[in-house]
Amino acid sequence: MNSAALYRNITLGVADAPFVKATISRYGWRVGVGRFVAGQDAATAVPALLKIQASGRGIILDLLGEFVGTEAAARGTARAIEESVRVAHAAGVEPYLSVKPTQLGLGVSSELAWELAEHVVGVVGSLGGHVCLDMENVPYVDRTLDLYERLRRAGHHHVSTVLQSYLHRTPDDLARMLALASEFSSITGLRLVKGAYREAPTDAIQDVSRVADAYRDLAYQALAGGLKLNIGTHDEGLLRELIAYAKGAKLGPEHHEVQMLFGVRPQLQERLSGQGVPVRVYVPFGADWYGYFSRRLAERPANLAFVVRGLFG
């Protein structure tokens, strides 16, 4: 295990300890959760969202929360998501939503997820917005793509999804996306990410440099195939290559956009945006911020140092 992976595992281990969890949960907003999480709910997130919009970057609303194990919980989450979008929209925020299908019950049943996804997609559509079905770990990839395809075939073209370059299966999934896209006249959006779940070597490339190579190949295919590529990486070298490709191919904002996380490399986001690159910021908010926040700390020692300074400084 390299030192970065070791740091990550230790941080995630410590973050799971009850004392740490209790302390950070209590003092969270004082110790810098607000750097990565825009608010405890949509209403408190609105100032951060409007500030991003005012800077020329787009936003993606993400109500934190992952796997939901019961139908009742899924219905509750769907209502909370709908309400969040309405609150943000009423305050002047673009209704561009990201949702994890397991939040809508994909782990309970595909029919439940379909019912709730179609409802949420309908609400967002009525506000003139967009929904991105986020992608989760291996057991949900097929079901998420099926859900996505079913939404498109039902006429919901303001929906996009995500592929993960580290999965061995992704070239086939991209071929499926390209074939599907060719059936419709509206541009098909696709966010490409490297992938961040811990997957088995039988499912995923483990070597980070090979993951970047796979990303580049998939991205070129997606762009050459006429998709709108949503470049979901913080790897500056890689994203600058793709921006350069788009420039060479004279692809405008309707065919590519950089998507980065709230609070991660904010100066790079602003620099790119200032250079005319379309940038959209994935903005998480909600009460269920602990897991998301500890993953951000586990990514970079500098982020943890920031919290430690907040607690003791």
Which position among 80, 251, 264, 268 is part of the footprint of its own copies (CB under 8 A)?
A: 251
- Beta pairing, strands 228-232 & 159-164: unpaired
- Least distance CB 3 / its own copies (angstroms): 21
Which position among 18, 237, 252, 313 is part of the footprint of its own copies (CB under 8 A)?
A: 237
Which has the closest alpha carbon to 125: 152, 92, 144, 91? Answer: 152
- Least distance CB 245 / its own copies (angstroms): 4
Q: Nearer Cβ to its own copies, position 106 or 243?
A: 243
301 Cβ neighbours under 8 A, 6+ residues apart: 7
Exactly one of 57, 62, 134, 280 is catalytic; which is it?
134
- Separation between Cα atoms, residue 64 and residue 29, nearest integer Å: 16
Contact 164, 203 (CB under 8 A): no
Q: Per CB under 8 A, does 221 bind its own copies? A: no
- Separation between Cα atoms, residue 105 and residue 116, nearest integer Å: 8
Q: Per CB under 8 A, does 244 bind its own copies? A: yes
Stretch that binds its own copies, among 180-188, 239-247, 278-286, 298-306 (CB under 8 A): 239-247
Q: How far is CA 159 from CA 90, 99, 145, 284, in A?
A: 21, 11, 12, 19
146 is catalytic: no
75 is catalytic: no
Exactly one of 8, 57, 191, 280 is catalytic; which is it?
191
Q: Per CB under 8 A, does 218 bind its own copies? A: no
Binding mask 141-160 for its own copies (x = CB under 8 A): --------------------
Q: Per CB under 8 A, does 247 bind its own copies? A: yes
Stretch that binds its own copies, among 47-55, 67-75, 76-84, 245-253 (CB under 8 A): 245-253
Q: Nearer Cβ to its own copies, position 159 or 223?
A: 223
Which position among 83, 241, 270, 288 is part of the footprint of its own copies (CB under 8 A)?
A: 241
Which has the closest alpha carbon to 89: 59, 132, 55? Answer: 59
Which position among 248, 252, 312, 313 is part of the footprint of its own copies (CB under 8 A)?
A: 248
Q: Per CB under 8 A, does 208 bind its own copies? A: no
- Separation between Cα atoms, residue 229 and residue 193, nearest integer Å: 10
Which position among 35, 75, 234, 240 is part of the footprint of its own copies (CB under 8 A)?
A: 240
Run of H or E including 162: strand 159-164
Q: Per CB under 8 A, does 192 bind its own copies? A: no
Q: Per CB under 8 A, does 115 bind its own copies? A: no
CA angle 66, 71, 73 (to 5 degrees): 50
Three-state SS for 273-297 is HHCCCCEEEEEEECCCCHHHHHHHH
- Least distance CB 7 / its own copies (angstroms): 25
Number of residues this chain uses to bind its own copies (CB under 8 A): 16
Contact 255, 224 (CB under 8 A): no
Q: How far is CA 213 from CA 166, 170, 172, 220, 293, in A?
A: 10, 13, 16, 11, 28
Active site (catalytic) residues:
134, 191
